[in-house]
A and B are shown apart, each in its own frame.
Chain A
């Protein structure tokens, strides 16, 4: 059974860099896209971006200038960095895996991390 476990700093000051890591247990990074999704308190979901085993990335255009997603295949982990954070970046951040079948991947998410609440406050 695939499990995603995430961690990272939970309290940041404005202008700092958010950094989160997601470890994948019970499965390989290969053959899937690995995503970050966030949810401000009491609000809806926003897709941040994705990476595959080979390091190919796609980002939400609204966040692209501040986001970097990377992958470490030796540790079976992938990471999110979001720079120059403001209070608007306060949210629960989730890592998640896409569904892949028959050689095709679809940006729908059937495995999720537990979520990390990151608060940006001076």
Chain B
């Protein structure tokens, strides 16, 4: 299995902050990486796919970058609705795997 490691596991930030979450793959996955947002009691919501493509309807303050083994999710200006847990997911191999999650908390 390809292991996905996210950092940090928890992040405290204020509204308006620029937030960066990192995801590292245990082997190269090209750009086959997605990012999801999950709020308590809800299913994950797809934000980014193919490392940097924004899913329809997702605000442009979300952006993704990276390739190979290192990826980032950036929120350019954190909004109240963005406090949630974020997961990366690789789909380079048919047995997809997720990162452990990054919880974005209110500072």
Say if the beta carbon of B100 comes within 8 Å of chain A: yes
Interface centre among B43, B89, B99, B101 (most CB of A within 10 A): B43
Query: Please, how many angstroms separate the alpha-carbon atoms of A113 and B42 in the complex?
Result: 9
- Is A108 a contact partner of B49 (Cβ separation < 8 A)? yes
Known A106-B91, A108-B49, A110-B55; judge A44-B34 contact (CB<8 A): no
The answer to whether B43 and A61 have CB atoms under 8 Å apart is no
- Chain A 96-107, CB-CB to B under 8 Å as 1, else 0, gives 100100000011
CB-CB contacts of B37-49 with A at 8 A, as 1s and 0s?
0000111101001
Judge whether B1 is part of the interface by a CB distance below 8 angstroms: yes
Main secondary structure of the interface of A (DSSP, over half): strand
Number of residues of chain B lying within 8 A (CB) of chain A: 21
Tell me if B22 is interfacial: C-beta within 8 Å of chain A.
no
Q: How far is the CB of B57 from chain A (nearest CB, A)?
A: 10
**Which B residues from 1 to 56 make CB contacts under 8 A with A?**
1, 32, 34, 41-44, 46, 49, 55
Among residues of B, the one whose C-beta sits closest to the C-beta of A117 is B41
Query: Given A46-B98, A47-B95, A58-B94, are A110 and B43 also a contact pair (CB < 8 Å)?
Result: no
Q: Is the pair B43, A60 in contact by a Cβ cutoff of 8 Å?
A: no
Q: Does A78 contact B (CB under 8 A)?
A: no
Q: Tell me if A45 is interfacial: C-beta within 8 Å of chain B.
A: yes
Residues of B with C-beta under 8 A to A36: none
A65→B57 CA distance, assembly (Å) = 39
Q: List 6 other contacts, CB 8 Å, given A44-B101, A47-B98, A109-B46.
A: A45-B44, A47-B96, A99-B49, A108-B91, A110-B46, A110-B55
Chain A to chain B contacts (Cβ below 8 Å), 19 pairs: A44-B98, A44-B101, A45-B98, A46-B98, A47-B97, A61-B1, A62-B1, A94-B43, A96-B43, A99-B49, A106-B32, A108-B46, A108-B89, A108-B91, A109-B46, A110-B55, A112-B44, A115-B42, A115-B43
Residues in chain A within 8 A of chain B (CB atoms): 44-47, 58, 60-62, 94, 96, 99, 106-110, 112-115
